Amino acid sequence: MAKRVAIVAVAQTKYHPNRADVNEGELAYEAIKQVLEETGLTLSDIDSAVTCCQDAWDGRTIASLNLQHVVGAHFGHEFTVAEDGINAAYVAMSQVLSGHHEIVLVESHMKESQGDKSLIENAAFDAILMRQLGLDFTSAAALQARRYMDKYGITPEQCAKAVVRNHSNAKNNPFAQGPMDIAVDDVLRSRMLVSPIRLLDTKPISDGACAMVMTTEEKAKKLARKPVWIMGVSNCYETHYLGDRELADCGALVKAAKKAYSMAGINDPLSQIDVAEISTEYSYQEPLWMEGLGFCGRGEGGKLVDSRTIEMGGQLPVNPSGGVLPGNPNTVAGMARVAEAVLQLRGEAGARQVKGAKVALAHGYTGICGQLQAVMILANI
C-alpha cells in the first residue's frame, strides 16, 4: 500500500468475569482514557470514532447510545461496526486511508455477564431452519470440532495441549482474566459440555473493553514514539448454513489470509511472521485456524500443536498473551489480538515479549463457526 496507517496507542481493561461495578460506557471509557493519556489527545481532537458493539449483546436497540459521551460523539462522527472488533480496526484503517478522517478512535466492549450467552447466540441462527434446534455457538462449534477431528485425526489431547499452552502463556499477561495451572489431563477430565467440547476446551464468561487510536503517517510521528503500521488486512465471509459448509476446512480464513498476506508481501508465514495472536474460543480452533492461516498444511494442525514451533521461543510463537481461552469477551477478542500484536511490536509486552518482533499477525472471527474471518498484518518498520 502506498500510504500507511499507524496505530499509535492501544489499551485493554483487565478481563474479568463480572464487572457489575460499571455500565458499558464506563467500561469502554476505562480503555479510552488510557489511549487518550498515552497520546496526549482529548476527545475533542478525535475526528471519528469507530465503535464495536451489537444490540443483542448489550440488550438495547442502538447499542452505541451507551457510548456517545465517552467517544466524544457530540457533533462528531461515530460509526458502529456490528462484527468482531478486528473488523472495527479494519474500518478505522479505511477511514484514515480514504483521507476523510485523520485521527480515529477505535473502541470495542462487551459485558458477557449481562445476558445469557447461549440464548443470545441462538438468535444468530436462521429462524426458519436452524434456530429451533436450540443451537448456540458452542453446539455449532462442537459440530465443527467433531467433523474436523474425524476428518484429519486431530486428537482431544492435541486440542488440550493448545489450552494448556494458552493458559500458561497468559500467566505473563497482566490483562488476562484467570489463567489456570492446568495440564492436559485436567482438560480431558473436565465436564463435557457438547461433545467433543469440554468445559476447559472453552473460555469463561468475560467482561472487558479495548481501545486504540489510528492516524496518518504524518500525525503518527508526533503522537507516538513507536508507531505500528498496518501492512495488510482483509476479511472474508463463508456461507451460513452449517450443512452447506465443509466444516473441517475454513475456506473463508484461507482467503482472508491470502489477501492480507499479499498486501503485506508475505508468502511464507512461518518464516516471515515473528508473532501471531489468533482468536480461539474453543480449543479445536487453534489447529484449524493455523491451517487456514497457512502455518502448516491441511490436516497438520495437530502436529503443529504438538511441535515446539508455536511455543514461546519457537519459530512462530502463537498467542503469547494467552489469547481468548483464559477469558476474553466476544466482540473484543479480535481487537484485543491487534492490541497485543501492537504491544509486541513496540517491545512493550513485558514477560510475554517475543524478542525482536518486527512483523505480527492478528486474527479475529465473527459468528457461527467463524463465518466471517479477518486477518491483519502489522509491522514496526
Nearest-CA neighbor of 156 among 121, 183, 181, 184? 184
Q: Is 368 in the site for other proteins (CB under 8 A)?
A: yes
Interface segment toward other proteins; rule CB under 8 A; list 180-188, 213-221, 248-256, 283-291: 248-256
What is the distance of C-alpha 242 from the center of its chain? Answer: 22
Q: Is 205 in the site for other proteins (CB under 8 A)?
A: no
Interface segment toward other proteins; rule CB under 8 A; list 115-123, 214-222, 223-231, 351-359: 115-123
**Minimum distance, C-beta of residue 26 to other proteins, in the bound complex (Å):** 4
3-state secondary structure of 151: helix
Q: Are 90 and 233 in contact, with CB atoms under 8 Å apart?
A: yes
Q: Is 240 in the site for other proteins (CB under 8 A)?
A: yes
Q: How far apart are CA 74 and CA 51, in angstroms?
A: 14
**Minimum distance, C-beta of residue 303 to other proteins, in the bound complex (Å):** 28
Q: Using the rule CB under 8 A, which residue among 4, 47, 102, 113 binds other proteins?
A: 113
**Minimum distance, C-beta of residue 282 to other proteins, in the bound complex (Å):** 18
Q: Using the rule CB under 8 A, which residue among 13, 15, 72, 379 binds other proteins?
A: 72
Buried b (16+ CB within 10 A) or exposed e, 90-105: bbbbebbbeeebbbbb
Q: Is 128 in the site for other proteins (CB under 8 A)?
A: yes
In the bound state with other proteins, the residue whose beta carbon lies nearer, of 73 and 213, is 73
Read off the DSSP letter of residue 371. S
Nearest-CA neighbor of 108 among 354, 374, 289? 374
**Minimum distance, C-beta of residue 64 to other proteins, in the bound complex (Å):** 6
Q: Using the rule CB under 8 A, which residue among 16, 89, 90, 324 binds other proteins?
A: 90
In the bound state with other proteins, the residue whose beta carbon lies nearer, of 120 and 194, is 120
180-199 footprint of other proteins as x/- string (CB under 8 A): --------------------
Q: Is 132 in the site for other proteins (CB under 8 A)?
A: yes
In the chain, the amino acid numbered 356 is: G
**Minimum distance, C-beta of residue 161 to other proteins, in the bound complex (Å):** 31
In the bound state with other proteins, the residue whose beta carbon lies nearer, of 60 and 189, is 60
In the bound state with other proteins, the residue whose beta carbon lies nearer, of 21 and 181, is 21
**222: Cβ contacts below 8 Å, ≥ 6 apart:** none
Q: Is 22 in the site for other proteins (CB under 8 A)?
A: yes
Nearest-CA neighbor of 84 among 372, 298, 302, 288? 372
3-state secondary structure of 77: strand
**Minimum distance, C-beta of residue 118 to other proteins, in the bound complex (Å):** 10
Handedness of CA 301, 306, 309, 311 (dihedral sign): positive
Cell matching residue 375: 486477518
Q: How far apart are CA 170 and CA 346, in angstroms?
A: 19
Q: Using the rule CB under 8 A, which residue among 34, 94, 190, 272 binds other proteins?
A: 94
**Minimum distance, C-beta of residue 364 to other proteins, in the bound complex (Å):** 11
**Minimum distance, C-beta of residue 179 to other proteins, in the bound complex (Å):** 25
* Residue 165: how many other CB atoms lie within 10 Å: 21
**Minimum distance, C-beta of residue 259 to other proteins, in the bound complex (Å):** 7
> Binders of other proteins among 27-66, rule CB under 8 A?
29, 42-44, 54-57, 59-66
Q: Is 131 in the site for other proteins (CB under 8 A)?
A: yes
Read off the DSSP letter of residue 282. B
Using CA atoms, how far residue 379 sits from 81, 170, 292, 322, 345, in Å, is: 25, 23, 21, 21, 7
Q: Are 339 and 12 in contact, with CB atoms under 8 Å apart?
A: yes
Q: Is 292 in the site for other proteins (CB under 8 A)?
A: no
Total interface residues for other proteins by CB under 8 A: 86
In the bound state with other proteins, the residue whose beta carbon lies nearer, of 51 and 169, is 51
Strand 192-194 relative to strand 48-52, pairing: unpaired
Q: How far apart are CA 379 and CA 338, in angstroms?
A: 11
Q: Is 298 in the site for other proteins (CB under 8 A)?
A: no
**Minimum distance, C-beta of residue 305 to other proteins, in the bound complex (Å):** 27
Burial of residue 119 (CB within 10 Å: 0-12, 13-18, 19+) is exposed
In the bound state with other proteins, the residue whose beta carbon lies nearer, of 34 and 68, is 68
Q: Is 140 in the site for other proteins (CB under 8 A)?
A: no
